[in-house]
Chains A and B, each alone.
Chain A
Amino acid sequence: MEMLLMGLCMSVFGLGIAALAFGAATRSQSSDSSSNSKVQPQLPLVQAATPARFFSDRAGATPTVPPVISPQQVPIEVLLLQIENHVRMEQAAAEVFIAFPSQARLHSKTTSPFVN
């Protein structure tokens, strides 16, 4: 009988602690949700622009920006090739103008990446 009473007491005590813990947990959640419902926090723009990456989404990760290559960094062979392609494209445009002269063809915009 004593054992039964002790077990009952322990159960009631455990239930009480569980109830307190549950109450504390739900109270903090509800206070959080109530504050959320009042003001929607503004998301930082940088985070929105950050592309989603598998396994590496970190809150504080900065977006990766491709390095800007200045014209000085382009190898001279590449630069000469770009010039040659530009000359060829301009010649083609000039040939079209000579075959069918018009002001629009004379000043047609070039798609040459060398000047764009």
Chain B
Amino acid sequence: MTHELLNGLTSAEAKQVLGLGTRLIIPAGTELFRLGDAADRLFLTERGRIRLTLPMQVRSREEDIFVEERSPGQTVGWSALIPPYRFTLTATASLHEAEVIALPREALQGYFAANPAAGYKIALNLAVVIGHRLQLFQTMWVREMQRTVEVRSV
């Protein structure tokens, strides 16, 4: 399994980082974390899919609206490394059971301090993950705005 967060690391470094974590099995439909929860762990998806959702009012009911889905090899919950360390989405295992590796923030920060070269690579990989999310949502936002403007201009 190749994890996007561990790109460029030697196999020894990757093994060391994975050794910091704990494997978790998430039954189908079970929440991994909820929006607003304290984010003290980052997750690497090993198996299954994780749905990321945001609450939205639909017909006066609060519904979890699909935002994104993370596949094996992808990172979930990078809020654990970004202040104020609170999750900004809700993560749930999709239709099938999922397996993730939970990496505690403190353990990761300790590893980065002891292995700055590996920490630098992980930080760059994290920037790619966050940057992609930013580009994706920026594009979706401007497309939605464009539609709103077109509707109002008619």
Answer whether A84 and B140 are a contact pair too, CB < 8 Å, given A76-B59, A76-B61.
no
Is there an interface contact between B65 and A80, defined as CB atoms closer than 8 Å?
yes
With the chains together, A76 CA to B61 CA distance in Å? 10
Q: How far is the CB of A24 from the nearest CB of chain B, in Å?
A: 66
Q: Are A98's CB and B68's CB within 8 A?
A: no
Whether the pair B143, A90 counts as a contact (CB closer than 8 A) is: yes
0/1 string, B60-84, CB within 8 A of A gives 1: 0101011110000000000000000
A72 partner residues in chain B, CB cutoff 8 A = 59
**A110 and B143 contact, Cβ closer than 8 Å, known pairs A80-B58, A98-B132, A98-B136:** yes
A96-116: CB near B (< 8 Å → 1, else 0) gives 011000000011001000010
Asked if A91 is an interface residue, CB under 8 A from chain B, the answer is: yes
* Complex contact A87–B135 (CB within 8 A): no
Cross-interface CB contact of B143 among A79, A88, A93, cutoff 8 Å: A93
Docked-complex contact A94 and B140, CB < 8 angstroms: yes
Contact B140 A91 (CB under 8 A): yes
- The answer to whether A107 and B132 touch across the interface, beta carbons within 8 angstroms, is no
Contact in complex: A84, B66 (CB < 8 Å): yes
Interface size class of A (residues with CB under 8 A): 10 to 19
Q: Which residues of B contact A84 (CB under 8 A)?
A: 65-66
Residues of B near A83 (CB, < 8 A) are 58, 65-66
Q: Chain A CB within 10 Å — which of B61, B63, B68, B139 has the most?
A: B139
* Docked pose: A79 CA to B66 CA in angstroms: 12
- The closest CB in chain B to the CB of A96 belongs to B139
Q: In residues 98-154 of chain B, which contact A (Cβ within 8 Å)?
A: 132, 135-137, 139-140, 142-144, 146-147
Question: Which of B66, B68, B136 has the most CB atoms of chain A within a 10 A radius of its CB?
Answer: B66
CA distance A94 to B132 in the complex (A): 10
- Docked pose: A115 CA to B143 CA in angstroms: 12
> What separation, in Å, do the CA atoms of A98 and B66 have in the docked complex?
21
User: Can you add 9 more A-B contacts, CB < 8 Å, to A93-B143, A98-B139?
Assistant: A76-B59, A80-B65, A83-B58, A83-B66, A87-B67, A88-B66, A90-B144, A98-B135, A98-B136
Binding site for B on A (CB under 8 A): 72, 76, 79-80, 83-84, 87-88, 90-91, 93-95, 97-98, 106-107, 110, 115
Sorted nearest first, the 8 A-B pairs with minimum C-beta distance are A94-B139, A84-B66, A98-B135, A94-B136, A94-B140, A97-B139, A90-B140, A87-B66
